């Protein structure tokens, strides 16, 4: 048994058994190692002349331009070292034609997003329908779609698995929905936990860890905990909507710091460490060995963090779009209505200001949609309660403010990204978050309850 000890910065290792002309050699190599590295170590340990070729037991050659992890080699895999021409297994022409088609994950994600939105609409209309047979059939179809989407078969498995919890939540909503504002937190709690369960099933069946499914599980548990606590304590439903909107606002600020988890070993000056693992060295131009972090490991770290941030921003957007109208609709008392509108305004402003710090385009756009949705719902409810004259004055004021903002933006150009504007935006975001936290106490009715008790 020979252990090629990897650098801790390479995150994890793979245990493989290499069968060759000199016998069997067990090696523990990092995920960033290539087939050439393993073959060179096999030749050095067994005394074989030359560097053999590595292939799988099925005869597929492991090329030197791919790491073991990217080639699908896992711990416990068996590799064959040979000096002859590798034997390729016969391939199916249909499989070759399928693999030759271009991969379009963006189109698949858009299609599954549209399918998830259609599932939500189907669940809403089925819940409102008086026909029990139609409702039962809709629930069955949605649940079947959710279960089929969790199966890791075919192309675009990741996109289907990410949309599967939406089908499960829609099926649960259509199954348990009953008219009544007081029952809505229970319906949302059941839908959220159903989405979390489907996400857990999809993650268990999937070959790799999917960050979007982790976000589904965490979001479902948080929503279930908030709505379930509200029901157990017999609080009004607007407490749950206010807390969910507040959590969405806070998540927009703290998600990036939680999503990007860089190991401490990566931050160490590795040139000063006495590491002698053969797999952790890279020959530099000066002719001396230099210890480096695997590029594949860093790409994997960045890609995983990007998927986590994007999925979290999508969850923040959905929470803001759903919780804001529910909060504004349930706050019927004057004092609670003022707090709900203040919370919607400041939460939307804080989300919009937090979006400026995101460098990922999709995540930034999702947050902007969520913040603008809060303001749009606020404007819609305000217009519904205002007189025609007040609506006209408000439209004129909004148009004037929009023209002034456009002129200021054109005049300053890219000055919005300067240090001065960044500090002002940071201060504005902190103030909006503080005001939203204070407005939550009023919007939930807690302040009014204390006032009524002491008066």
* Cβ proximity of 2 and 43 under 8 Å: no
The pLDDT tens digits of the residues spanning 317-339 come to 999 999 999 999 988 888 888 99
Mean of the pLDDT values across residues 274-282? 46
> Which of 295 and 215 is assigned the larger pLDDT?
215
Query: Would you place residue 266 in the very low, low, confident or very high pLDDT band (cuts 50, 70, 90)?
Result: low
Measured between alpha carbons, how far is 357 from 387 in angstroms, rounded to an integer? 39
- The helix or strand, by DSSP H or E, that contains position 299, with its residue range, turns out to be helix 295-330
Q: Is the pLDDT of residue 92 over 80?
A: no
Q: Is the pLDDT of residue 452 over 80?
A: no
- Other C-beta atoms lying within 10 Å of the C-beta of residue 330: 23
What pLDDT is recorded for position 193? 93
**Which range, 28-42, 290-304, 362-376, 404-418, is most confident?**
362-376
The pLDDT tens digits of the residues spanning 359-415 come to 888 888 999 999 999 999 988 888 776 677 777 777 788 788 778 776 766 555 555
Query: Would you place residue 100 in the very low, low, confident or very high pLDDT band (cuts 50, 70, 90)?
Result: very low
Sequence ranges of the domains in the chain: 8-82, 106-454
Mean of the pLDDT values across residues 301-317? 86
Task: Give me the CATH topology for the region 8-82.
Answer: Ubiquitin-like (UB roll) (3.10.20)
What pLDDT is recorded for position 445? 82
> Which of 85 and 45 is assigned the larger pLDDT?
45
Q: Is the pLDDT of residue 344 over 60?
A: yes
* Cβ proximity of 230 and 254 under 8 Å: no
Decide: helix, strand or coil at residue 395.
helix
> Which of 453 and 149 is assigned the larger pLDDT?
149
The pLDDT tens digits of the residues spanning 171-196 come to 999 999 888 767 888 999 999 999 99
Decide: helix, strand or coil at residue 323.
helix
> Which of 157 and 317 is assigned the larger pLDDT?
317
- Token couple for 146: 């959710």
Q: Is the pLDDT of residue 149 over 80?
A: yes
**Which range, 205-209, 248-252, 352-356, is most confident?**
248-252
Question: What letter would DSSP give residue 414?
Answer: G
The pTM (predicted TM-score) of the whole model is 0.69
Output phi, psi for 344, to 5 deg: -65, -40
Query: What is the share, in percent, of the chain residues with pLDDT greater than 70?
Result: 80
* Cα angle 183, 202, 198; round to 5: 10
Query: Would you place residue 165 in the very low, low, confident or very high pLDDT band (cuts 50, 70, 90)?
Result: very high
Mean pLDDT, all residues of the chain: 79
Measured between alpha carbons, how far is 427 from 371 in angstroms, rounded to an integer? 18
Query: What is the share, in percent, of the chain residues with pLDDT greater than 90?
Result: 24
Measured between alpha carbons, how far is 340 from 241 in angstroms, rounded to an integer? 10
What pLDDT is recorded for position 67? 80
Output phi, psi for 29, to 5 deg: -120, 155
What pLDDT is recorded for position 268? 52
Output phi, psi for 64, to 5 deg: -80, -15
Query: Would you place residue 283 in the very low, low, confident or very high pLDDT band (cuts 50, 70, 90)?
Result: very low
What pLDDT is recorded for position 289? 42
Measured between alpha carbons, how far is 169 from 171 in angstroms, rounded to an integer? 5
**Which range, 58-72, 247-261, 267-281, is most confident?**
247-261
Tell the burial category of 130 from Cβ atoms under 10 Å away from its Cβ (0-12, 13-18, 19+): exposed
What pLDDT is recorded for position 160? 87
Query: Would you place residue 242 in the very low, low, confident or very high pLDDT band (cuts 50, 70, 90)?
Result: very high
Measured between alpha carbons, how far is 127 from 136 in angstroms, rounded to an integer? 10
What pLDDT is recorded for position 263? 58
């Amino acid at each position: 048994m020979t252990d090629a000890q990897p650098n801790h910065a390479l995150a994890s290792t793979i245990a493989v058994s290499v069968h060759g002309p000199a016998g069997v050699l067990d090696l523990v190599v990092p995920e960033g190692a290539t087939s050439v590295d393993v073959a060179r170590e096999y030749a050095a340990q067994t005394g074989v002349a030359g560097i053999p070729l590595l292939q799988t037991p099925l005869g597929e050659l492991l090329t030197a331009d791919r790491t073991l992890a990217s080639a699908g080699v896992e711990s416990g895999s068996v590799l064959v070292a040979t000096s002859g021409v590798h034997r390729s297994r016969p391939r199916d022409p249909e499989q070759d034609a399928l693999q030759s088609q271009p991969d379009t994950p963006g189109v698949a994600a858009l299609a599954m997003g549209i399918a998830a939105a259609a599932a939500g609409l189907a669940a809403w209309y089925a819940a409102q329908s008086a026909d029990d047979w139609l409702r039962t059939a809709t629930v069955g179809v949605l649940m079947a779609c959710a279960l089929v989407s969790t199966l890791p078969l075919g192309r675009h498995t990741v996109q289907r698995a990410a949309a599967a919890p939406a089908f499960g939540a829609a099926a649960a909503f259509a199954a348990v929905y009953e008219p009544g504002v007081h029952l809505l937190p229970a319906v949302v709690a059941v839908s959220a936990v159903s989405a979390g369960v489907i996400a857990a099933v999809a993650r268990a069946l999937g070959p790799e860890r999917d960050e979007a499914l982790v976000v589904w599980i965490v979001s479902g548990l948080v929503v279930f905990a908030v709505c379930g606590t509200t029901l157990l304590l017999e609080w009004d439903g607007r407490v749950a909507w206010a807390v969910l909107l507040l959590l969405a606002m806070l998540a927009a600020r703290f998600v990036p710091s939680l999503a990007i988890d860089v190991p401490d070993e990566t931050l160490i000056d590795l040139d000063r460490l006495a590491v002698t693992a053969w797999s952790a060295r890279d020959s530099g131009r000066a002719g001396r060995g230099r210890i480096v972090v695997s590029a594949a490991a860093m790409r994997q770290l960045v890609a995983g963090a990007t998927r986590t941030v994007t999925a979290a921003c999508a969850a923040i957007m959905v929470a803001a779009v759903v919780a804001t109208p529910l909060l504004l609709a349930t706050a019927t008392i004057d004092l609670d209505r003022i707090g709900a509108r203040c919370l919607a305004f400041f939460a939307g402003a804080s989300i919009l200001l937090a979006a400026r710090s995101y460098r990922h385009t999709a995540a930034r756009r999702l947050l902007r949609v969520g913040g603008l949705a809060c303001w749009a719902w606020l404007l819609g409810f305000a217009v519904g309660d205002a007189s025609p004259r007040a609506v006209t004055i408000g439209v004129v004021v909004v148009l004037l403010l929009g023209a002034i903002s456009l002129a200021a933006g054109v005049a300053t150009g890219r000055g919005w990204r300067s240090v001065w504007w960044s500090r002002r935006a940071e201060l504005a975001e902190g103030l909006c978050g503080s005001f939203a936290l204070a407005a939550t106490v009023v919007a939930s009715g807690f302040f009014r309850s204390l006032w009524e008790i002491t008066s």
